[in-house]
Structure 1
Amino acid sequence: MEQIIQHFTDDDLYKFTMCCAVIDNFPRAQVKYRFKDRDNLVYPKGFADELNH
């Protein structure tokens, strides 16, 4: 499967800013991020496996 994100600028800015906020304000916190599909797209078979890899 071809990579969806080819360059770091293709990623979601929100994720980066939230990561920086957590690191700056809660440096010892352990966090989990979850994928949120905002467009309700239909993904190809095996996409979830690649996402969870």
Structure 2
Amino acid sequence: MNSDGTGVTRIAAGYDPDFAPDGSKIVIRQSRLILVNTDGSNPEEFADEGSDPA
């Protein structure tokens, strides 16, 4: 997204997103926990269940 709020791009569906400390990945909660690149590519399931990923 641009600083003025335009150019929004949906990268993944889920809840409670959080960035990795180095900003290279995002963890999201769906029915399981998924780790994706910041552009939404390379989704990896890393837990069958969980909540409030950080």
Bin of the TM-score, shorter chain as denominator length: under 0.3
Greater helix content: 1
| Larger Cα-atom Rg | 1
Normalising by the residue count of structure 2, what TM-score does the alignment of the two structures yield?
0.20
Greater strand content: 2
